[in-house]
Amino acid sequence: MALTDAEIKELEAQAWQLRHDIINVTVWAGGAHIGGGLSMLDILVLLYFKYLNIDAAQPEKEDRDRVVVSKGHGGVGFAPVLARRGYFDFDDLKTFNQFGSPFGMHLDAAKVTGVDVSTGSLGHGLPMAVGLALGARTQNKAWKTYCILGDGECNEGTVWEAAMSASHFGLTNLVTIVDRNGYMIDGATEEVMELEPFSDKWRAFGFTVLEVDGHNFADLAEAIDTSLAADGPCVIIAHTKKGRGIDYMEGNVKWHYGSIDSTLADKARASVDRMYGKA
Question: Which residue from 100, 94, 93, 158 is spatially nearest to 126, judged by alpha carbons?
Answer: 158
Q: What percent of the chain has pLDDT over 90?
A: 99
Helix (H) or strand (E) holding 270: helix 262-275
pLDDT at 279: 77
For the segment 32-55, what is each residue's pLDDT rounded down to a tens digit?
999 999 999 999 999 999 999 999
Question: Which residue from 88, 92, 97, 121 is spatially nearest to 34, judged by alpha carbons?
Answer: 97
CA 132, 133, 135, 141 dihedral sign is: positive
pLDDT at 204: 98
238, β-bridge pairs: 179, 212
pTM of the model: 0.97
In this structure, are strands 187-188 and 208-213 parallel, antiparallel, or unpaired?
Answer: unpaired
Q: How far apart are CA 44 and CA 81, in angstroms?
A: 7
Q: How far apart are CA 48 and CA 71, in angstroms?
A: 17
Q: What DSSP designation does 71 have?
A: S
Average pLDDT, the chain: 97
pLDDT at 1: 67
pLDDT at 2: 85
Q: Where are the domains of the chain?
A: 5-275
Q: How far apart are CA 94 and CA 29, in angstroms?
A: 7
Widest CA span of the chain, in angstroms? 53
pLDDT at 139: 97
98 residue type, one letter: Q
The dihedral region occupied by 239, where left means phi > 0, alpha psi between -120 and 50, and beta the remainder, is: beta
Question: Which residue from 67, 70, 71 is spatially nearest to 36, judged by alpha carbons?
Answer: 71
In Å, what is the CA distance from 160 to each residue of 89, 125, 168, 209?
A: 37, 11, 12, 15
- Determine contact, residues 107/75, Cβ cutoff 8 Å: yes
For the segment 152-168, what is each residue's pLDDT rounded down to a tens digit?
999 999 999 999 999 99
Domain 5-275 has CATH 3.40.50.970: yes
Q: What is the pLDDT along the chain (279 residues), one digit of tens a residue?
A: 689 999 999 999 999 999 999 999 999 999 999 999 999 999 999 999 999 999 999 999 999 999 999 999 999 999 999 999 999 999 999 999 999 999 999 999 999 999 999 999 999 999 999 999 999 999 999 999 999 999 999 999 999 999 999 999 999 999 999 999 999 999 999 999 999 999 999 999 999 999 999 999 999 999 999 999 999 999 999 999 999 999 999 999 999 999 999 999 999 999 999 999 997
Q: How far apart are CA 61 and CA 118, in angstroms?
A: 18
For the segment 206-246, what is each residue's pLDDT rounded down to a tens digit?
999 999 999 999 999 999 999 999 999 999 999 999 999 99
